[in-house]
């Protein structure tokens, strides 16, 4: 031991503050998932589009999101877009970065799921008199979500983990940001980050468990 | 026979006692390398030249210290928030990194006597409409997380009850954010402000008055329990001033009269 | 925009950063895979109760942000006085991180091998080891390989986080250049392109393998 004495008392006193940060973390993760799913559906549909421009855009999004680090994407959202004079606050930049990442990964998941749904389903729906949009939203989409439920849960956990990267763009309200602010004031790195790790773990477990409960309710039959 | 045995035993005892007592100072001299934690996005204290090699006041200061110890210097680049972790995790032997000697930090690491002193100024853009320190009220401002000025500015923003404070992880990101308009002002040391304006990299940057903070005395840092080493650092800083090397380095990197490092009316 | 001050020597600087990224990735994937195969196999071969501690640790590694793991491990090794270099800390943390995901992939692969196949192998006189080595692993490999390639790419990208410990890898080297040259957008795009160039061909190869092997099923 390097003559290091743990100062746990100091760290425990900061737990309420850190839990406040965890709420922001969950908020960002949830928002990024909702937005990410929205974009991902558009991308997944766009990849099958007749128009080359839409197909190209959708493919570029997916490939860039999946082939560059999330940290890079968040840094780019803040400082890269900033060079255009487009100023995203740390919160928005973090949200934009994670949403971009989520959408890229989920779009691939959805594309796989769409392939797994027999094309006869769409034809059957259309022959029942549904329009193309109605058939997609009422028949195809629910099945797609059901098939991709597990990957979506995983993506939600990743979204929570990715929020920790917000500190590189000046985020100081989420769990990692709050922890780092406490750390730079006191330099009790181990104590504070150990508590943060426990909170992250519990948050991730809550999401996984909640998703399992939800799945049991939704997919009962 | 018995005497030989005793002598051997005491020799062993003396030898082991000496190895047990080998402290940081001995370790550095024995290893032949002095690893200095230096911040390299903080000109003129530390930056990189066109070949991406470290240069600056702190880099020269580290080299002087290494020369005094009779070893070679190795620069370990550390962002501001990582200076103290780098020391505690033994990635560096000493921090020559403009570290303000706060009491909160002294609970974790050891400080030498001050080796430099900063005056804080407001750095802003011409078009931001900020004319003095209080003009920052209501604006989005930023600084480096955990620095002397960063901690105070964050408190100011809280006290003003308007605007927003953004902590960045390194000085470069603060300047980048200021130039892009992500933030409207920052509080930095006058040396850094004048140096960054002098480079011409950021055309719109202007200094708008002093920040009403105490003079920021900065110290060399070492591990809290390494008294022998900290003692050596104190003497080294003293010698740098006494021999005129401090003024010489000040002339080289900043220019003018180097700030006084002693405080009237009290000992350190 | 293309009127840049980025010199050839700066590109060399970035290439050195990319080399660090690649070497950390290679080490982490090598050791992570070895550990992952051991952990994953263990989890399928011993009872759930006996594997519980291992399961828990692997779960923690997958549920705590990598950045936090790196910071914690670095602080912890310094408290214990190991005095490891950041590079070593990064490799250890990333290897364990990789192993936690790899174990899941291996487990998935092994569980995809039908029990009847294994019973058939055993009843043909194969020992437990022979069954594992000649029947289970070859079949599991086919299921696991696409996931493993994805994991390798993930680790390559996640390795960017080691910049927090002061390692000058690809992303950090680009930040240093941004500081000096003040061309954030251009340099960041170049960085993104380098990541893409490393990652994309491997991803494509993975996709092709997946497709080819599926046809054979």
Confidence class for position B2, pLDDT limits 50, 70, 90: low
Yes or no: say if B169 and C172 are a contact pair by the CB < 8 Å rule: no
Record the pTM: 0.83
Supply the mean pLDDT for chain C: 89
The values of phi and psi at residue B118, to 5°, are: -115, 145
Confidence class for position A83, pLDDT limits 50, 70, 90: confident
Residue C105 in contact with partner chain A when CB distance is under 8 A: no
Question: What is the model's pLDDT at position B158?
Answer: 92
Residue B195 in contact with partner chain C when CB distance is under 8 A: no
In angstroms, the CA B118 to CA B96 distance is: 15
Question: What is the model's pLDDT at position B145?
Answer: 86
- The angle subtended at Cα B176 by Cα B171 and Cα B182, nearest 5°, is 115
Question: What is the model's pLDDT at position C216?
Answer: 54
Question: What is the model's pLDDT at position B4?
Answer: 62
Yes or no: say if C116 and C134 are a contact pair by the CB < 8 Å rule: no
Report the C-alpha dihedral over residues B116, B68, B89, C102, rounded to 10 degrees: 120
Residue B142 in contact with partner chain A when CB distance is under 8 A: yes
Nearest residue in chain B measured CA to CA from A185: B146
The secondary structure element, H or E, covering residue C7 is none
Residues of chain C with pLDDT under 50: 1
Distance from CA of B87 to the nearest CA of C (A): 9
Whether the predicted pLDDT of B55 surpasses 50? yes
Tell me the mean pLDDT in the region B4-30.
67
Whether the predicted pLDDT of A48 surpasses 90? no
Question: What is the model's pLDDT at position C1?
Answer: 43
Between the alpha carbon of residue C3 and those of residues C7, C9, C178, the distances in Å are: 11, 16, 15
Question: What is the model's pLDDT at position A1?
Answer: 43
Question: What is the model's pLDDT at position B231?
Answer: 95
Contact list in C for residue B86 (CB cut-off 8 A) is 166
Instruction: Look at residue A72 and give its three-state secondary structure.
Output: helix
| Secondary structure letter of residue B46 according to DSSP | B
Burial of C109 (0-12, 13-18, 19+ CB in 10 A): buried
Question: What is the model's pLDDT at position A3?
Answer: 60
Yes or no: say if C172 and A168 are a contact pair by the CB < 8 Å rule: no
Residue A127 in contact with partner chain C when CB distance is under 8 A: no
- Between helix A15-46 and helix A189-218 the angle, nearest 10°, is 50
Q: Tokens 């091998």, residue?
A: C113
Tokens linked to B109 = 């690491």
> How do beta strands B47-48 and B54-55 pair?
antiparallel
Question: What is the model's pLDDT at position B10?
Answer: 58
Report the range of poorest mean pLDDT among A3-12, A74-83, A119-128, B111-120.
A3-12
Of C10, C85, C166, the CB nearest to B77: C166
Distance from CA of A24 to the nearest CA of C (A): 16
Tokens linked to C193 = 């392109």
| Partners of residue B141 on adjacent β-strands | B165, B185
pLDDT > 70: what percent of chain B? 92
> How do beta strands B94-100 and B33-38 pair?
parallel
CB atoms < 10 A from the CB of A67, how many?
21
In angstroms, the CA C182 to CA A57 distance is: 29
Do C192 and A64 make contact, defined as CB atoms within 8 angstroms?
yes
Whether the predicted pLDDT of A221 surpasses 70? no
In angstroms, the CA C6 to CA C8 distance is: 7
Whether the predicted pLDDT of B18 surpasses 60? no
Distance from CA of B172 to the nearest CA of C (A): 6
Of A167, A170, A188, the CB nearest to B142: A170
Question: What is the model's pLDDT at position B9?
Answer: 59
Burial of A25 (0-12, 13-18, 19+ CB in 10 A): buried
């Amino acid at each position: 031991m390097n003559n290091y004495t743990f100062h746990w008392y100091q760290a425990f006193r900061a737990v309420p503050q850190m839990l406040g940060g965890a709420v922001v973390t969950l908020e960002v993760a949830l928002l990024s998932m909702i937005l990410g799913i929205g974009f991902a559906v558009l991308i997944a549909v766009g990849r099958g589009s007749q128009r080359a421009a839409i197909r190209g855009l959708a493919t570029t999004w997916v490939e860039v999101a999946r082939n560059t680090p999330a940290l890079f994407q968040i840094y780019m959202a803040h400082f890269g877009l900033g060079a255009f004079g487009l100023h995203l606050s740390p919160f928005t930049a973090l949200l934009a970065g994670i949403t971009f990442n989520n959408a890229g990964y989920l779009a691939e998941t959805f594309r796989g799921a769409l392939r797994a749904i027999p094309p006869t389903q769409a034809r059957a729906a259309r022959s029942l008199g549904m329009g193309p949009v109605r058939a997609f939203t009422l028949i195809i989409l629910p099945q797609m979500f059901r098939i991709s439920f597990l990957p979506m849960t995983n993506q939600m956990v990743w979204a929570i983990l990715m929020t920790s990267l917000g500190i590189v763009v000046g985020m100081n309200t989420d769990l990692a940001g709050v922890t780092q602010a406490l750390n730079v004031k006191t330099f009790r790195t181990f104590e504070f980050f150990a508590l943060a790790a426990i909170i992250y773990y519990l948050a991730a477990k809550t999401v996984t468990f909640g998703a399992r409960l939800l799945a049991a309710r939704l997919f009962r039959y | 026979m018995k005497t030989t045995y005793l002598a051997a035993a005491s020799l062993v005892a003396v030898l082991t006692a000496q190895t047990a007592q080998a402290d940081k100072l001995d370790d550095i001299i024995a290893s032949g390398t002095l690893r200095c934690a230096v911040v390299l996005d903080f000109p003129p204290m530390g930056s990189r030249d066109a070949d991406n090699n470290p240069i600056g006041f702190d880099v020269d200061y580290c080299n002087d210290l290494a020369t005094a110890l009779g070893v070679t210097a190795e620069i370990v680049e550390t962002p501001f928030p990582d200076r103290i972790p780098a020391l505690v995790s033994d990635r560096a032997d000493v921090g020559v990194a403009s570290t303000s000697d706060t009491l909160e930090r002294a609970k974790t690491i050891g400080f030498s006597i001050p080796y430099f002193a900063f005056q804080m100024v407001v750095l802003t853009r011409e078009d931001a409409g900020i004319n003095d320190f209080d003009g920052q009220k209501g604006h989005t401002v930023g600084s480096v997380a955990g620095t002397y000025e960063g901690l105070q500015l964050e408190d100011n923003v809280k006290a003003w009850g308007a605007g927003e404070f953004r902590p960045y992880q390194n000085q470069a990101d603060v300047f980048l954010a200021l130039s892009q308009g992500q933030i409207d002002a920052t509080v930095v040391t006058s040396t850094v402000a004048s140096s960054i304006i002098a480079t011409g990299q950021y055309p719109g940057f202007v200094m708008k008055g002093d920040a009403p903070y105490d003079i920021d005395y900065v110290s060399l840092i070492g591990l809290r329990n390494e008294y022998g080493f900290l003692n050596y650092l104190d003497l080294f800083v003293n010698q740098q001033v006494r021999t005129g090397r401090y003024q010489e380095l000040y002339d080289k990197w900043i220019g003018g009269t180097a700030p006084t490092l002693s405080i009237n009316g009290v000992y350190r | 925009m293309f009127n840049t001050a980025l010199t050839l020597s700066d590109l060399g600087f970035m290439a050195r950063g990319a080399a660090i990224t690649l070497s950390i990735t290679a080490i982490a994937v090598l050791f992570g895979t070895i550990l992952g195969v051991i952990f994953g196999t263990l989890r399928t071969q011993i009872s759930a109760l006996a594997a519980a501690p291992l399961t828990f640790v692997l779960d923690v590694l997958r549920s705590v942000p990598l950045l936090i793991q790196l910071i914690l491990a670095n602080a912890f090794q310094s408290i214990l006085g190991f005095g490891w270099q950041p590079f070593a800390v990064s490799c250890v943390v990333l290897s364990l991180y990789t192993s936690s995901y790899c174990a899941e992939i291996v487990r998935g692969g092994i569980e995809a091998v039908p029990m009847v196949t294994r019973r058939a192998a055993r009843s043909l006189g194969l020992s437990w080891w022979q069954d594992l080595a000649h029947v289970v692993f070859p079949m599991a490999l086919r299921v696991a390989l696409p996931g493993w390639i994805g994991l390798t790419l993930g680790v390559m990208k996640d390795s960017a986080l080691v910049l927090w410990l002061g390692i000058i890898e690809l992303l950090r080297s680009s930040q240093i250049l941004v500081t000096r040259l003040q061309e954030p957008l251009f340099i960041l795009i170049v960085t993104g392109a380098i990541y893409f160039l490393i990652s994309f061909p491997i991803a494509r190869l993975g996709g092709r393998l997946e497709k080819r092997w599926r046809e054979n099923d």
